[in-house]
Amino acid sequence: MEILFEKDKKVLVTGGAGFIGGALIRRLLINNSCEIFNLDKLGYASDLTGIDSILSKAKSDDRERYKFIKLNLVNQKRLREALFSINPDIIFHLAAETHVDRSIDNPSEFINSNIIGTFNLLNTVKEFLEESSIKKRNSFRFHHISTDEVFGSLGNKGHFTESSRYQPRSPYSSTKAASDHLVNAWHHTYGLPTIITNCSNNYGPWQFPEKLLPLIINRALSRRSIPMYGDGLNRRDWLYVEDHIDAILLASKKGKVGQTFCIGGGEEKTNKEVIFQTCKFLEKYLDLDYSCTNLIKNVQDRPGHDFRYSIDSSYAREELGWAPKNTFNEGLKRTIEWYVKNQDWSKKILKKANYNISRMGILKE
Ligand code: NAD
């Protein structure tokens, strides 16, 4: 993809120590010449190894284009100081608590980061723009990265679109829905130049190993049982993370202020299909002397587990000229190979987070 942000542009990414934010920053370091500010509280799922590996190979000019700021969006005073000192031209807002099971056990973290954090950021951006030049106000963008989960659960038919009704059903998705509403309100009421993208299930390298794909891979590699929630028939629309980054960058450049785009990989699979396909691939790829599929174990379903998500991306495809480049088979192969090669990274990040891939999000009897 061509250079989108030139040398004189300052790009602020919140949540850049996370899975998707990290992929965005790596892309900005490799393909762009802008200054990049990564603002993250460094939560349990955060890791900067992927960005550091790019920086270690970069020229000193490129290293100087990147700055990390450890900051929790809940801290309004420090956020204000940081934002005014950065003086950004665009903000990609990805910082959020993201794991549904954790949101069932500890919803308050989600209220704080996803709702209060977004509110603080919007209010600070509003103040910042009020003190900026007209030229800056006209060119500035606030790009909010959200999820298809805000639209709730589909039956066997139909797809989510930009006009789907908000019907979030988990603590996670309800806090993301709240953040979408706040972004829209700050656009309509205060004229904030916003863009929202709602995307489907991302997968790819560097994802914290509590999420489905790395969880299956790591448990299979260590010969531990592989949990399949309920009957495994819940369906998700899988999007390779680099295709998502393409969509984010295109939407930020070509999208008009106030627009929303639904971004999906168009690769709908049941969890059961994903688990079996991953196990079969691992058995063949590593020529294992044990069966990964025999490790699969049906476990109690997630409370309120959404049955199906599926996105109709035709608006984004037409307006932005975006299309995913990776099929699920290609993306899955690349992801599995990466996790097999980077088992030490998974172990390191799990140890750092003091997490042993145990089950979360079950209601107490
Ligand atoms: P992630 O959990 O890997 O990373 C999130 C990052 O945000 C972490 O580094 C965390 O420390 C940071 N963060 C959280 N709260 C913060 C706060 N209060 N202040 C500063 N930093 C904070 O998540 P991800 O998978 O990279 O998701 C990024 C964004 O994309 C989220 O907003 C998520 O809702 C959205 N999204 C993700 C997916 C997916 O499949 N992963 C799908 C749709 C939308």
Would you say the CB of residue 281 lies under 6 angstroms from ligand 1? Answer: no
- What was the pLDDT predicted at 356? 80
pLDDT of residue 362: 86
Buried b (16+ CB within 10 A) or exposed e, 235-267: bbbbbbbbbbbbbbbbbbebbeeebbbbbbbbb
Catalytic residue, from 40, 47, 66, 172: name it. Answer: 172
Q: CA-to-CA distance for 239 and 223, rounded, in angstroms?
A: 27
Supply the pLDDT for residue 108.
Answer: 98
Q: Which residue has the tokens 């975006």?
A: 322
Q: What is the pLDDT of residue 4?
A: 85
Measured between alpha carbons, how far apart are the two ends of the chain, in Å? 52
Residues of the chain with pLDDT under 50: none
Cα(202) to centroid of ligand 1, in Å?
Answer: 11
Residue 2: predicted pLDDT? 67
Instruction: Tell me if residue 172 is catalytic.
Output: yes
- For residue 359, the model assigns a pLDDT of 85
* Strand 90-93 versus strand 10-14 pairing type: parallel
Cα 336 from Cα 70, distance rounded (Å)? 31
Q: Closest Cα to atom 8, ligand 1: which residue?
A: 18
- Does the C-beta of 201 come closer than 6 Å to ligand 1? yes
Rounded to whole angstroms, the Cα distance separating 93 from 229 reads 31
Q: What is the pLDDT of residue 264?
A: 98
**Annotated catalytic residue, options 35, 40, 97, 148:** 148
